[in-house]
Structures are given as C-alpha cells and as structure tokens.
Amino acid sequence: MAFLARQLSARPVRVSFPCVSVFRLASSGVMDEMGLGLSRSPLERLEFDNVALRRLPLDPVEDPGVRQVKGACFSRVSPQPVTKPRFVAVSHEALALLGLSGDEVLNDPLAAEYLSGSKIMPGSEPAAHCYCGHQFGQFAGQLGDGAACYLGEVKVPAGQDPELLLENPSGRWEIQVKGAGMTPYSRQADGRKVLRSSIREFLCSEAMFFLGIPSTRAGSVVTSDSKVIRDVFYNGNARHERCSVVLRIAPTFLRFGSFEIFKQQDELTGRQGPSYGRDEIRGQMLDYVIDMFYPEIQQNHQDRVERNVAFFREVVRRTARLVAQWQCVGFCHGVLNTDNMSILGVTVDYGPYGFMDRFDPDFICNASDNSGRYSYKAQPAICRWNLMKLAEALDPELPPEQANTVLEDYLDLYNSFYMENMRKKLGLLKKTEPEDVMLVTELLQTMHNTGADFTNTFRSLSQISCPAEEDSEVEEESVRAATELLLQQCASLEEMKAANKPSMDPRELSMLLSLAQSNPTLFHMISDRMTISRQLDRMARLKDLMESSEEELRAKNVDEWTRWIKRYRKRLSAELDGQSDVASAQEERASVMNSSNPRVVLRNYIAQNAIDAAENGDFTEVQRVLKVLEKPFTCQPGLELPTSVGIPHVRERDEVEDQQQEVASTSTTRNPLPYDSKPPVWAQEICVT
C-alpha cells in the first residue's frame, strides 16, 4: 500500500491545473502572513546555497528545447509536473542528511510535489549539467543531464554525523530529481523515468551505502498518474508506464565527462566537446572541484601544476578503492562510460547494474553489452581506461607525462585495496602471506567451476573453523563438513548447462571464425577475438556438461572444494601461531568475516519482485526490501521473507493500451524465498538493458 499523507486539521483544498495537482491548506496564506511556520512544508525550510551556479558558467539561453550548449556548465530548466504525485518509499537515513525527518516528509501534503519537481522549493534553482562522455569506448560528444535536474545545494544541518562528512567537506548536499522532464540535453528522449528504473536506482543507491561502498544516495521515489510509452525489451512491444522520480543526494554529481566538454574533434567519431577552445572554463571548473571537495589539496599545494597532479592522484586512489569494493561484493555497474564515473570516486548512475548470483568472471549485467566491455572482470581495467580519458581531458592543466606517472600506480593501488578486502572476507587478519593471492584466485576458480553462489559462499566461510590440534579422523570430518556446507551453494547440472549455453547462434559463430581467417579487417569491424573466445569456452564447457550426470558433477565438485578447503584450513592454522586464546581469535575472525560478507545484496530477483508488486499498486515490498538492505550483514527477525510476491506487470483497470503489449514473465506464480536465498528459476528470465 502506498504511503498516504495524513490530513491536517485544516481541510485541504484541491486546485487542478493541467498535468499537476496542487494541495494547499486553506489557511496557509493567513498563517504565512502572521509569520507562523506551523503550516510550512519541511521542504520549504531547507537552506539552499547554490555555489555551483555562482562559480561555474551558466548557459545564457533559457529557452526550452534540445540544443548544443557552448561555453557553459549548466543550463537553467523548468521541471515538468506530473499528475497526482505520491510516495512509493523514502529513505529516512538519506533524508536525514538534509535535516529532514522521513515521517514528517511522508505526512507533508506538499512533499511529493516538491520531490517530483512538480513544485519548486524556495531557494531551489533548477538546472541541468552539461557533460560529454566516451560511451562503449567511443566519444559521443555532448550528453548532459537528459533526465536529471539539479535543484540546488542544501547546507549541511547542524549536528550531522562527522563520519558522513569525511568525503564531503563542502558543507552542502547537492540534490537532484531524476525523471522530471526534458532538458537541453534530452536528445531524442522525453526526460522521464518509469517506476521500474526508479525503484532500482532508489534501492541500489541505499544498498551500496549500507554495504559500506561510496555511493550517491536516494532520498525518495515518487510515482504518479502521468504515463509515458516504453518498449521494455526493445522488441516492438511498447506499453504505458507511470512517470516516476527519484530524489538523488551527493556532495556533487560532477563526473569525468564534465571535463570532456572541452575535447577537440575526435579522430574516430568526428565529434568534439561543445566548449572546445574554452580552456579558461576548464581551469575554472578544476578550481571549483578542488576548492570545494578536495580542500586539503588546495591548501597544501601552492604550485598549480603540483596541486592538479595531487588532485588527479587522489581521484585515481579513490577510483581504485571503489572498483575493488565492487569486485568484492560481486557488483557490476553495467555502463562504465566516462560520463558515469564520479569525480569524487563514488558509485553514480544506477542503470542496468547487477549483483552476481553464480560466480562468473565474464558476468555481464547489461543485456545491451554484446561485447562484454563492461563485464565483471573488465571493470578494474575499464576504470583505468576512464581515468586515462580524464587525464586527457585535464590537459594542459595536468601535464600528460605526470598524469601517466600517476596512472602507473593504479594497478598496485587496486590490488592492495582488493586483497585488503579479500583477507577480511576470508578471515585472514593476523598475517599477510604471499600465498594469500593464490588462495583467493583458487577460491574464485573453484566457485566458477562449481557454479557456486558468490554472496552465499563467502558468507558461509565464517562457519569453517580454524584447525586445532586434531587427529586425522577429526580433521577429515571437519573438511568433509566444510565441503558439504559449500556444496549447498553450487549450481545443479541443469543450471550449469543453462549458464554455459552460448549466446551466439552456432552458424553465426562459424561464419565469424571463418571471417577471422579470411578477412581479419572486416572481422574486427563486426566482432572481436574476446567475444569469440568466450563463446568457444562456453561451447567446450557445455559439451563436457552434456556428457556428465548429476552424480558425476557432484563428485567433481566434492574433489574441487575438498582441495581448496584443505589449503584454506592450512592457511587458517598459520593465523593461530602465537595466539594464546584460540577461542577469542576464532570469535574475532567470525565477527570480521560476518561484517565483511553480506548476508543480503540487492539481487535482480529481489528488486524485480518489489517492482512487480509496485506496478500493481502495492508499495510495501519496496519499503520492506529497503529495511532489509539497511542491515545487509545481519539477520533481522520478521524480515526474512517478502510479504508480497508479485505477478509481473498486471494491467490496471484504467489502462487502455492493447493487450497484445503485455510483457509479463512466463512465470505467473512465485513462491516466496528468503532474501538470503539463491535466486529462483524465474530469475533467469530477468533481462536488464
């Protein structure tokens, strides 16, 4: 059920305008004139200080319409109202960043209008940011906020947790609404977002924060009676969907692509940045970013070049740390273009993301990524490539030779962050051994070979005890029990067959193999060797699986896990060397592991179940999932199972589109599963683009 605003003692009067419904208290005007704040919306009390619009150039053209924006970082816009906006859910924790009470916001008759862009808060100055980007490796020219709308910067309220301000020294939180209509950067789109994409962004923004991974935040998601047409799977089956809007919160939403507006004409695509030649704006933007968000660097470096090098070094460090954290929870962003990389090193822009279920280094969460450019295993290298493009965009403020020197440290930084996290996940706390890298590598290979669930396998490791001085029979039994524990997370034979089925038609594959031999130039224009190699590997694995039985697969899995567990327990025994209190060491190890290996992540099926319920008018599952994700490392009594198991995309009575446009899943019945379960069979049908 949707959150409903409680009526105040004064009866609200509804005044209707085209495409917007506005609620005002009949007595509000009198109250305001008397100087009483009792009727004011809490959102009207936010204190804005919109520094970005004062320090960065604004587009002088304020006319609506899509256009190239030259010599400016922002364009003023007018968010377009939606009909009957109402809350799907709010994040109390995220709203607290702005000094807002979630309950107070939910009970405010005006809040859904303000947080959907249908009504403008006092002090807000709606604008859209101009940026460019390399998309799938190609420079795309001007992009910009095609659906997001900067509302302004809210001053940090007194008493904010200092921990939250460690990487936000600006003293302000930028707030955006995403899905509030067209901007000069909307291109061929309408600037709207729908319920499914808005719920996914809302939930994942908060999920990442509570996993301890730097991220933009989401304060609310609002839906409405306004409709847009969307072709969900790009297959010609379009349908009407509800316009929905997410409130996004971050110190800033500036990104790598913000600095690419100055790019000269690209040799490959022929496109150039709209502000090419305006080097003074690049310097202006760099001064703003460093001064506001990296003040220690600003204070510690008098020389401009040294300052800029130090800034780039810190961006490299934060980016390496971020992608290492992604890898350690099995998160795949899906669209790691330069315009989706935050200048602060936080996760931004949640589109076709995915948390891995069965471990697969070639995991691709975005069904549109045919080449696997943004696969799970490619993310560390892609982030380095994006950093290289940022360095190019900062030239001449950042000399290329010095940028290259900084980039040489990226891989070592990434590996250091990655292994630091992995040692915690494996409970290797007392010592750092050279063999640890191989132990992690062999674990992941065993998980891949056996189709083990990424999240649940790591979570289970804390149940494997450190070996004490045991006889051989006891040790053998301990290994056997540990093996049985991890076998529960392995895929069945049928699941492995489905996972290894080539995505390419055999005839197409044969044609490409022939083309690679006869006409390599043409082959590289339409495919690549990595894609072909991946398909051939799948075919080989599938052939082996087709010739195996369930019993043979289990025996093979037992052998693989037994070998790794013996190595792991041997390494754990080294942790106890010199420890007088073994029980205390075991307890500490389990505690660290259980706070490093989440019990629950936002798997696609969990998000989809909440979306399906919401599309049928039941918002309680979205709210419930948020509560679960706020404490991902612990079991919350009463929150083990979903309360709503939605039937996908059931049409509402007032919808009139052709019934042939239904895109429901073939599964119409679903049994509720605990949030920490491996995904159900129907989850294989989920396609995110």
- H/E segment holding residue 619: none
* Residues 622 and 199 sit within 8 Å (Cβ to Cβ): yes
Q: Is 17 helix (H, G, I), strand (E, B) or coil?
A: strand
In this structure, what token pair is assigned to residue 74? 């922002």
For 52-83, give one letter per residue: b (16+ CB within 10 A) or e: bbeebbbbeeeeeebeebbbbbbbbbebbbbb
Catalytic member of 339, 349, 357, 453: 339
Is the CB of residue 154 less than 8 Å from the CB of residue 172? yes
Peptide bond just before 396 cis, omega within 30 deg:
yes
DSSP symbol at 278: -
In this structure, the number of other CB atoms found within 10 A of the CB of residue 44 comes to 16
Between CA 65 and CA 78 the distance in angstroms is 11
120 Cβ contact list (under 8 Å, min separation 6): 79, 114, 126, 151
Return the residue matching tokens 């991220």: 215
Separation of alpha carbons 180 and 174, rounded Å = 16
Residue 220 DSSP code: E
Interhelix angle 410-426/582-594, rounded to 10 degrees, is 120
Pairing outcome for strands 217-231 and 354-355: unpaired
Task: Give the helix/strand (H/E) hosting 300.
Answer: helix 295-300
Q: Are 146 and 183 in contact (CB under 8 A)?
A: yes
Question: How far is residue 622's CA from residue 614's CA, in Å, rounded to a whole number?
Answer: 7
CA distance linking residue 442 with residue 633, whole number of Å = 25
The rounded distance, in Å, linking the Cα atoms of 104 and 351 is: 30
How many DSSP H helices and E strands does the chain contain? Answer: 23, 14
CA-CA distance, 659 to 651, in Å (whole number)?
9
Q: At CA 245, angle to CA 242 and CA 250, rounded to 5?
A: 160
Which whole-number Å values give the CA distances from 387 to 31, 403, 575, in the listed order?
54, 9, 38
Residue with tokens 């996004």, as numbered in its chain: 248
Q: What is the Cα–Cα distance from 333 to 312, expressed in whole angstroms?
A: 22
- Phi and psi at 312, nearest 5°, equal -65, -40
Both structure tokens of 298 = 């600003």
Q: Decide if 103 is catalytic.
A: no
3-state class of 63 per DSSP? coil
- Contact predicate 370/689, CB 8 Å: no
- The Cα 90–Cα 82 span in angstroms is 18
**2: Cβ contacts below 8 Å, ≥ 6 apart:** 86, 87, 88, 617, 619
| Cα–Cα distance, 525 to 528 (Å, whole number) | 8
As a whole number of angstroms, the distance between CA 80 and CA 120 comes to 10
Q: Which ranges of 409-505 would DSSP assign to H, the alpha helix?
A: 410-426, 436-450, 454-460, 472-487, 493-499
Alpha helices by DSSP H, listed for 17-152, are 28-33, 51-55, 92-96, 102-106, 111-114
Element holding 614 (H helix, E strand)? helix 604-615
CA–CA separation, 141 vs 274, rounded Å? 8
Question: Catalytic residue positions?
Answer: 339
